[in-house]
């Protein structure tokens, strides 16, 4: 049987290979992590999904988060030794890097809903769950493949990935990190977190466009032979910290197993019971990790894909047609302001029965025509596991206020989108399955809008971001994170801007500074 079409393996078998979603390009895990993007522009996917037995899930429930991570990661990263993986996860999740000893704590929200808090890392967003680990995996991958050039990380961010990548790679020997963010497309706190970043190897550039423009520009730099030659001449090799890199995706698989294991440990469920996950979604990496966990044997009933007003994914799951022929909206959940969800390509690879040529055709059609359709049969296959819903800014504010009044829980704008969509899903489907709501950011990263949600629009009028945070702390009783409190006094270190067409030149200028 063609190895690229194998979908399952049992624990203990080896060796795991990775293939491009657009066909071919067989590599090891370390090579996939080091390269980030396949030469044909596709995304690396595992040749098969390792299976995790119910007995293994029960055993995970007795372990701390770092040990859980080691157990899951080793199933994919087979050219890394167990000792290397254990050292990497200890460095990523140990010490005081996360302000909660559980790392990804699961908290009850109401009688049938739990909230998975993924914002306890240094940058207050779920991206820390992977980007505290990725630098360790990247440097290990470079050594394993005899790469002596500087690994130059290029990142496009819709708000949270940028700071998490900068923080993860800051002053890591043998690396540099350059982040592009949309000039007017992130929150005040998100922008300040990035532009105040220290380190001798960090660069931040504002792109005069939206996130899709920045992401497309980064992908074009990866596929440009001329840019690669220029980087090589400078002793650098490109890699990615976006979720197109499998090294970003696989650590995210861990926290779905961890959440389920916590439910088992608390006897909220019996191992084997289905659990739904509701995930606020932009670039599709977070919910794709849940799909991978499902393919590995995690008993997931339904994956609820929550979008904001930019509801390209909601429409895709409903119609089977992905179309970017629509207005781009700037919303109060900016990390989801995306029209081209890159990680959807990995799900399409599975929907296409791992036919790379078909995926290549869809991606070419998207680039040339702005849309593609997968057909009714594949849409029905997707619909058997996924359900898409959306919430606009009005619904988001309403949900923030409602959850605070009813549950005394303070949630950020992205989590509120998911909470609103979950409410809609339950009303529509009458599904009483226990559900984990994935919370992706601290409410203090979006203090103005969260304050408006719990106290009304007039309260934040005339207040700067720090005054909004102080007022939110006063009214909610939820302590302001030190990371936000300290921002006010940090100097602005990064002021570069560029046009969409000038991203490559902007990177080189940063290196010459």
Active site members: 127
Q: What are phi and psi of 20, to 5 degrees?
A: -75, 145
Q: Can you read off the two tokens belonging to residue 79?
A: 């050219």
Please check whether residue 129 is in contact with residue 146, taking contact to mean a CB–CB distance below 8 angstroms. no
Distance CA 416, CA 342 (A): 23
Please check whether residue 253 is in contact with residue 311, taking contact to mean a CB–CB distance below 8 angstroms. no
Q: Which helix (H) or strand (E) holds 277?
A: strand 275-280
Q: Can you read off the two tokens belonging to residue 158?
A: 């819709």
Cα 474–chain centre separation: 31
Pairing of strands 106-110, 113-117: antiparallel
Give DSSP secondary structure letters for 68-79.
HHHHHHHHH-TT
**At 465, is the secondary structure helix, strand, or coil?**
helix
Question: Residue with structure tokens 């909470």?
Answer: 419
Q: Can you read off the two tokens belonging to residue 138?
A: 């990247």
Contacts of 487 (CB under 8 A, 6+ apart): 189, 192, 193, 196, 466
**At 331, is the secondary structure helix, strand, or coil?**
coil
Cα 264–chain centre separation: 25
Please check whether residue 434 is in contact with residue 275, taking contact to mean a CB–CB distance below 8 angstroms. yes
Q: Which helix (H) or strand (E) holds 106?
A: strand 106-110
Query: How many Å is the Cα radius of gyration of the chain?
Result: 21
Contacts of 97 (CB under 8 A, 6+ apart): 121, 122, 128, 132
Q: Can you read off the two tokens belonging to residue 132?
A: 């505290």
Q: Can you read off the two tokens belonging to residue 204?
A: 């931040």
Please check whether residue 303 is in contact with residue 279, taking contact to mean a CB–CB distance below 8 angstroms. yes
Please check whether residue 378 is in contact with residue 350, taking contact to mean a CB–CB distance below 8 angstroms. no
Distance CA 131, CA 110 (A): 31
Q: At what angle do helices 344-351 and 376-383 cross, to 10 degrees?
A: 110
Cα 65–chain centre separation: 18
Please check whether residue 412 is in contact with residue 481, taking contact to mean a CB–CB distance below 8 angstroms. no
- For 22, what's the count of Cα atoms within 13 Å in the CB-facing half-sphere? 12
User: Looking at the DSSP assignment, which residues form a beta bridge with residue 177?
Assistant: 153, 202
């Amino acid at each position: 049987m063609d190895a690229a079409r194998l979908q399952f393996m049992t624990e203990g078998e080896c060796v795991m290979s990775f293939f491009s979603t657009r066909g071919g390009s067989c590599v090891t895990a370390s090579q996939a992590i080091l390269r980030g993007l396949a030469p044909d522009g596709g995304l690396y996917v595992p040749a098969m999904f390792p299976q995790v037995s119910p007995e293994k899930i029960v055993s995970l429930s007795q372990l701390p988060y770092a040990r859980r991570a080691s157990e899951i990661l080793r199933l994919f990263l087979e050219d890394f030794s167990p000792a290397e993986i254990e050292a990497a996860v200890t460095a990523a999740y140990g010490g005081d890097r996360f302000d909660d000893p559980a790392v990804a704590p699961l908290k009850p929200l109401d009688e049938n809903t739990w909230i998975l808090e993924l914002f306890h890392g240094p940058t207050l967003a779920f991206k820390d769950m992977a980007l505290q680990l990725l630098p360790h995996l990247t440097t290990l991958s470079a050594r394993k493949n005899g790469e002596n050039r500087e690994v130059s990380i290029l990142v496009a961010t819709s708000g949270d990935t940028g700071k998490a990548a900068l923080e993860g790679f800051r002053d890591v020997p043998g690396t540099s990190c350059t982040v592009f963010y949309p000039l007017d497309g992130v929150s005040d706190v998100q922008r300040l977190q990035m532009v105040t970043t220290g380190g001798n190897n960090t660069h931040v550039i504002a792109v005069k466009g939206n996130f899709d423009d920045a992401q497309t520009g980064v992908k074009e730099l990866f596929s440009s032979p001329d840019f690669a030659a220029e980087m090589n001449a400078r002793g650098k090799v490109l890699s990615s910290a976006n979720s197109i890199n499998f090294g970003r995706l696989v650590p995210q698989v861990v926290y779905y197993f961890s959440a389920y294991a916590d439910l088992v440990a608390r006897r909220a469920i019996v191992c084997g019971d289905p659990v739904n996950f509701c995930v606020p979604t932009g670039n599709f990496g977070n919910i794709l990790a849940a799909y991978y966990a499902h393919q590995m044997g995690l008993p997931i009933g339904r994956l609820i894909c929550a979008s904001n007003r930019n509801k390209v994914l909601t429409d895709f799951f409903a119609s089977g047609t992905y179309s970017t022929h629509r207005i781009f909206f700037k919303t109060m959940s900016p990390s989801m302001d995306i029209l081209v969800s890159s990680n959807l390509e990995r799900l399409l690879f599975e929907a296409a029965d791992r036919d790379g040529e078909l995926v290549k055709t869809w991606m070419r059609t998207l680039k040339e025509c702005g849309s593609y359709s997968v057909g009714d049969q594949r849409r029905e296959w997707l619909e058997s596991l996924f359900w898409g819903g959306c919430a606009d800014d009005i619904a988001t504010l309403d949900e923030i206020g409602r959850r605070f009044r009813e549950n005394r829980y303070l949630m950020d704008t992205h989590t509120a989108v998911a909470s609103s969509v979950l409410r809609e899903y339950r009303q529509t489907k009458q599904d009483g399955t226990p559900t984990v709501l994935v919370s992706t950011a601290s409410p203090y990263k979006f203090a103005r809008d969260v304050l408006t949600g719990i106290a009304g629009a007039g309260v934040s009028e005339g207040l700067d971001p720090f005054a909004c945070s102080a007022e939110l702390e006063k009214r909610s009783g939820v302590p302001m994170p030190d990371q936000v409190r300290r921002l006010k006094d940090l100097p602005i270190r990064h002021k570069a801007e560029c046009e969409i067409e000038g991203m490559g030149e902007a990177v080189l200028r940063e290196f010459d500074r």
